[in-house]
Amino acid sequence: MKILVPVKRVVDYNVKVRVKADQTGVETANVKMSMNPFDEIAVEEAVRLKEAGIATEVIAVSCGLLSCQETLRTALAIGADRAILVETDVELQPLAVAKLLAAVFKKESPDLVILGKQAIDDDSNQTGQMLGALLGRPQATFASKVVIEGGAAQVTREVDGGLETIKITLPAIVTTDLRLNEPRYVTLPNIMKAKKKPLENVKPADLGVDVTPRLKTLKVTEPPKRSAGVKVPDVATLVAKLKNEAKVI
Amino acid sequence: MALDQETFALLKESVRRFVQERLVPNEDRVEHEDEVPAEIIAEMKELGLFGLSIPEEYGGIGLSMSEEVEIGFELGQTALAFRSVFGTNVGIGSQGILMDGTEEQRRTYLPKIATGEYIFSFALTEPGAGSDAASLKTSAVLDGDHYVINGTKRFITNAVRAQGFTLMARTDAANKGAGGISAFIVPRDTPGITLGKIDKKMGQRGTKTCDVIFENARVPAANIIGGKPGVGFKTAMKVLDRGRLHISSISTGMSKRLLKEAATYASERKQFGQAIAEFQLIQGMLADMQTELYAAESMVRDGAARYDARDPQMPMLAACCKYFTTEAVGRAADRAVQIHGGAGYINEYKVERFYRDVRLLRLYEGTSQIQQLVIARNLLKNLGN
Ligand SMILES: Cc1cc2nc3c(=O)[nH]c(=O)nc-3n(C[C@H](O)[C@H](O)[C@H](O)COP(=O)(O)OP(=O)(O)OC[C@H]3O[C@@H](n4cnc5c(N)ncnc54)[C@H](O)[C@@H]3O)c2cc1C
């Protein structure tokens, strides 16, 4: 069984992001970048399936700038077998990424695609779903457990109000939620091994995909500053404020 | 061999994360239990920290000196006891075998040292021989194809954890100087080796030192590092040369941590109606810490690059680095305690422990005075050139 794991390079989750002065986006120059944490969970899951003898090959794929190679090296260090970079400096939107991934899917014919439910930079939560639709394959989003059995995946999904377990036929798309697993620390010997693993570089044109953006960003702004809190003298005042001012009870 | 930037960036990030997410949160535990938890040691092995300096062909990571000091800057940012567990494998315990060992000795020991399966200690100091290490008395007398070893080694880091020692002993009783000394690889399970009581120390709780006593311990002659007697002191000095840069990077990492602790405390602690960081006298101390930190980082990077380039001035420059960075971290710790006021004297605060921990850095692997001597001796020697 072959698993394809798309990974995205994003601003590191520890970085306090700053909006650019011209409001066209967030500052990424000289900012620490890392693998999207949900994608890290996806790579970890794929590698665990390989270690359990269920998967035979794990292929990491990333779309974007040449610097995404570093993200792919991380995936290789966690345990992916090889990597593909779809290199472009065009700003990629979820649909374009889904199309690129669909093209890679057709080339590689994996049995399973595992990717993050969303990326922590734009929080779109669209790529996995769009990929499923473009390929006409089943999808299980927000997975907190994945069991592969006889050509199908039994996936436990984190939904509002509880857990839902569904069974989907492979090949299929799974998107990861936070509780699927806890990714390992990449060890130094594995980073050294990752150096020698194959990393292929293709261009969107090689895949016959037009990645021109379709959405226009009007502006990006900082969230409003939190205003200072108030101290209340007693519970009665608190309840009154919650009722009348905040209108939450 | 130097790594490509991308790979090295990953390595450094992996170590940084491990230090910040696994080691820093366990500092209190190490302080209170006076032990590095077994599961943390297992994780260090898994991560590959024991093999940082051992070449890839012998199962390690094979960092260049420039890379090793960058990693040292990260490792130094937490309680020094963590580094001590694998410190002798990365440095003094293994480097003699790597630098001067025979190919067979390297193949036999280095792969196990790199994974941490073997912990190796370095046994040079004796009750009567510290700074004047060349006067050591531990004797090794040839008997057939074995040497019979007798003597006591003092303050040996990791002896209780060790599977083996790089041991310096006198093989030529007639030669009382450096030329009579040989370096041996001595397995811990050699009959005739006993350990003294574990030393109670001022700081660095969780690190372990003790005496190692040799009584008619028989070691194969083939275990002389490089197979050649009489050059053991040279081996030891080469090992310490490299070790000085490593210690410099650790000291600098700790200076960074101390500055962070001090600056954070100063921003939060209020007196006279304002954060104490607002007072210029406090700012002066912080500025001194920052300036010396920057100087130390720059110096260590330069020293490491020159080490990699085999700069002939190295022994002197490595001594300069060790002298400056270990004295600087002492000053940083003192200022950090001062900025903390009374809290800086209380064990619950990190700076109280670090203050005690860093005191050792000016003493071992050559005291500050010995570094000064090395520096001055070399500069005077080169005066004519
Ligand atoms: C916690 C700890 C761990 C250690 N780990 C190891 C280890 O793993 N392996 C190992 O072999 N050793 C180890 N040591 C020993 C350490 O390297 C020695 O303690 C150190 O070299 C100093 O030697 P000494 O203690 O005998 O001091 P001494 O040499 O007696 O020095 C006393 C004082 O005299 C000064 N002095 C000495 N000679 C001169 C001179 N010529 N000119 C001016 N001043 C001088 C010194 O600078 C110092 O201030 C460790 C020590 C400690 C405390």
- The per-residue pLDDT for range A204-237, each reduced to its tens digit, is 999 999 999 999 999 999 888 888 888 899 999 9
Torsion of CA B85, B333, B15, B70, to 10 degrees: -110
Contact B232, B186 (CB under 8 A): no
* Parts of chain A with a pLDDT under 50: none
Check whether residue B72 and residue B128 sit in a common domain.
no
Identity at A235, one-letter amino acid code? V
Shared domain for B133 and B152, answered yes or no, is yes
> Which of A69, A70, A188 to mutate: most B Cβ within 10 Å?
A188
Q: Which of A70, A189, A195 sits opposite B9 (nearest CB)?
A: A70
Domain that holds residue B340: 234-381
Q: How far is the CA of B364 from the centre of ligand 1 (A)?
A: 6
Is residue B369 within 6 Å of ligand 1 at its C-beta? yes
Dihedral over alpha carbons B315, B321, B324, B325 (to 10 degrees): -140
- CA of B372 from ligand 1 middle (Å) equals 14
Helix (H, G, I), strand (E, B) or coil at B143: strand
Other Cβ atoms within 10 Å of A195 Cβ, number: 16
CA of A194 to nearest chain B CA: how many angstroms apart? 8
Distance from residue B134's CA to the centre of ligand 1 (Å): 12
Task: Looking at the CA of residue B133, tell me the nearest atom of ligand 1.
Answer: 21
In the listed set B230, B258, B291, which residue is the last one of a domain according to the structure?
B230
Other C-beta atoms lying within 10 Å of the C-beta of residue B213: 16
Task: Give the CATH number, domain containing residue B169.
Answer: 2.40.110.10
Beta strands per DSSP E along chain B: 120-123, 139-143, 146-157, 164-170, 181-187, 193-198, 209-220, 270-271, 274-275
Q: How far apart are CA B325 and CA B163, in angstroms?
A: 31
Q: Rg of the Cα trace of chain B?
A: 21
CB B130 near ligand 1, within 6 Å:
yes
pLDDT of residue A171: 96
The whole-number pLDDT of residue B383 equals 85
The CA distance from B383 to B385, in Å, is 6
Contact: A70, B14; criterion CB under 8 Å: no
The torsion defined by the Cα of A237, A243, A244 and A248, in degrees rounded to 10, comes to 130
Q: How confident is the model at residue B2 (pLDDT cuts 50, 70, 90)?
A: low
Q: Do A192 and B7 touch (CB under 8 A)?
A: yes
Contacts of A69 in chain B (CB under 8 A): 6
Same domain flag for B281 and B223: no
pLDDT at B50: 97
Query: Which CATH number is B340's domain given?
Result: 1.20.140.10
CA A189: distance to chain centroid?
26
Cβ–Cβ below 8 Å for B6 and A73: yes
Q: Are residues B175 and B46 in the same domain?
A: no
Asked if A187 lies within 8 A of B46 by C-beta distance, the reply is yes
ipTM score of complex: 0.86
Split at pLDDT 50, 70, 90, the class of B385 is low
Within 8 A of B18 by CB-CB distance, chain A residues are: 185
Question: What's the pLDDT tens digit per position in B42-88?
Answer: 999 999 999 999 999 999 999 999 999 999 999 999 999 999 999 99
Cβ separation of B47 and A187 shorter than 8 Å?
yes
B304-323 mean pLDDT = 96
- Which run of H or of E encompasses B316? helix B314-340
- CB-based burial, A18-51: b 16+ in 10 Å, e otherwise: eeeeeeeeeebeeeebbbbbbbbbbbbbbbbbbe
User: Checking DSSP bridges between strand B193-198 and strand B181-187, what pairing results, if any?
Assistant: unpaired
Nearest CA in chain A to B115: A189
- Tell whether A248 lies on the interface with B, counting CB pairs under 8 A: no
Q: Which residues of B touch A77 (CB under 8 A)?
A: 10, 14
B124 and B104 inside one domain: no
**Cα(A30)–Cα(A25) distance, rounded to whole angstroms?**
15
Q: In chain A, whose CA is at the least distance from the CA of B61?
A: A189
Model confidence at B349: pLDDT above 90: yes
**B301 and B281, same domain (yes or no):** yes
**B257 pLDDT higher than 60:** yes
Nearest CA-CA partner of B211 in B308, B128, B274, B314: B128
Q: Minimal Cα–Cα distance from A247 to chain B, Å?
A: 35
Q: Which of B201, B230, B259 is the last residue of a domain?
A: B230
Instruction: Tell me which residue has its CA closest to atom 24 in ligand 1.
Output: B130
**From the CB of B122, is ligand 1 less than 6 Å away?**
yes
One domain for residues B246 and B373? yes
Total number of domains in chain B? 3
Residue with CA at minimum distance from ligand 1 atom 7:
B156
- B240/B327 same-domain check: yes
Q: What is the pLDDT of residue B346?
A: 97
Let me know if B292 is a catalytic residue. no
Q: Say whether both B271 and B341 belong to one domain.
A: yes
Which of B95, B115, B135 marks a domain boundary? B115
> For residue B80, what is the domain's CATH number?
1.10.540.10
∠ at Cα A117 (A116, A118), nearest 5°? 90
Q: How far apart are CA A72 and CA A79, in angstroms?
A: 11
- Are residues B226 and B240 located together in one domain of the fold? no
Contact A187 B6 (CB under 8 A): no
pLDDT at B35 over 60: yes
Q: What is the pLDDT of residues A15-35, one digit of tens each?
A: 999 999 999 999 988 899 999
Residue from A33, A69, A191 to probe the interface with B (highest B Cβ count within 10 Å): A191
For residues B123-130, give the mean pLDDT.
Answer: 97
Single-letter code of the amino acid located at B14: S
Which ranges of B171-313 does DSSP label H, i.e. alpha helix?
232-268, 280-308
Please indicate, yes or no, whether residues B283 and B225 belong to a single structural domain of this protein.
Answer: no
From chain B, the residues in CB contact with A189 under 8 A are 48, 51, 61
Contact A189 B51 (CB under 8 A): yes
Query: Both B245 and B366 in a single domain?
Result: yes
pLDDT at residue B1 tops 70: no
